[in-house]
Amino acid sequence: MASSTIPNVSLTFNCQTFVDNKPPLPNYLSFSSSKRPRPPCLFTVRASDTDFEAAVVAGNVPEAPPVPPIPSAPAGTPVVPSLPIQRRPRRNRRSPVLRSAFQETSEEDTPIGAMPGCYRLGWRHGLVEEVAKARDVGVNSVVLFPKIPDALKSPTGDEAYNENGLVPRTIRLLKDKYPDLIIYTDVALDPYSSDGHDGIVREDGVIMNDETVHQLCKQAVAQARAGADVVSPSDMMDGRVGAMRLALDAEGFQHVSIMSYTAKYASSFYGPFREALDSNPRFGDKKTYQMNPANYREALTEMREDESEGADILLVKPGLPYLDIIRLLRDNSPLPIAAYQVSGEYSMIKAGGALKMIDEEKVMMESLLCLRRAGADIILTYFALQAARSLCGEKR
């Protein structure tokens, strides 16, 4: 579809690719991207099952870039305690890329069977090359999602805050190559948990809320220290946004934004992505902490809590089946609204196009336009590069 089809629409597309690595290509990453205002992209980080790759993910890589120091203030700057401010609108204004995002106008690839066109990419070369392709068509943001070996998983997910782990090293790698790249990170324990849940699981199967939030705060700080621009708690634990804001501020990261998964529903549309990451819970489901798809007013409760706790961006997931929730948040909050077009939405359009039942490109662009019309300022989608190229007038 030509770019003129959606004039003056600032979309953020989130394309997702995945990384696959064997020595000498350590670790795995997947990522999605964004288009014109250039907000988030999605990255999925995956490592293999071998002890060698587990060691790499754990940080045994001699050439890993060092953690950058926190910049010092000019001489004579008064030493004062951090102000108790939860809402800091300047966080969304601190760079041209972020300002444009929220403007109110205007080595070896492995295919993923359930997500045609998506791949696991090599940690270094495959990832860097994919980011370069995204930047060429105006996509300058990525969201990282890790996939690590079982050897590094534990009931409490301690690998989540390893400052020389896969995600922090990936952040430093990308920031070293592309300093102006906007990096969003996922904050949740499920990639690191031996139980596969977003939180710590008690012996009786109950997800422990407050203990999980403690771990998530350490994870967010580790990501911010590595250079993340926006941390994105997707766990749906109560109170995690406020606790995370306090933890970040206490460590000097007042400038790091929080994109909260405000209305994340316990949806069946996540299936292809969980297959890609092998991230299904080992038992039960996630209905005790993700929202009931039947609920509408509950999204307002989550929105008000996240706003009061200091969230900078509110996200709705999935996207197209929840246009009413996107509009609800848009009409009731001044904050930027993000919509996540999830793997099930992507795969249905791909399957329909492959069977010649629909025009894939037209349906893709229409679905993104609908998310924008409903009120989304940012759109995370696995169609990021394809949509961006279409808007740029390029052939696929």
**Out of 147, 264, 286, 350, which one is annotated catalytic?**
264
Q: By C-alpha distance, which of 183, 186, 184, 204 is closest to 195?
A: 204
Rg value, the chain, Cα: 20
175 included as an active-site residue: no
Distances, alpha carbon 283 to alpha carbons 95, 193, 205, 245, 288, in Å: 43, 12, 9, 31, 13
User: Which residue of the set 317, 350, 362, 395 is catalytic?
Assistant: 317
CB–CB of 32/341 below 8 Å? no
Residue 5, both tokens: 């089809």
Please state, as a whole number, how many other Cβ atoms lie within 10 Å of the Cβ of residue 132.
11
**3-state SS string for the chain:** CCHHHCCCCCCCCCCEEECCCCCCCCCEECEECCCCCCCCCEEEEECCCCHHHHHHHCCCCCCCCCCCCCCCCCCCCCCCCCCCCCCCHHHHHCCHHHHHHCCCCCCCCEECCCCCCCEEEECCHHHHHHHHHHHHCCCCEEEEEEECCHHHCECCCHHHHCCCCHHHHHHHHHHHHCCCCEEEEEECCCCCECCCCCCEECCCCCEEHHHHHHHHHHHHHHHHHHCCCEEEECCCCCCHHHHHHHHHHHCCCCCCEEEEEEEEECCHHHHHHHHHHCCCCCCCCCCCCCECCCCCCHHHHHHHHHHHHCCCEEEEECCHHHHHHHHHHHHHCCCCEEEEECHHHHHHHHHHHHCCCCCHHHHHHHHHHHHHHHCCCEEEECCHHHHHHHHCCCCC
Q: 264 an active-site residue? A: yes
Q: Which two tokens stand for residue 56?
A: 């790499």
| Residues assigned a catalytic role | 264, 317
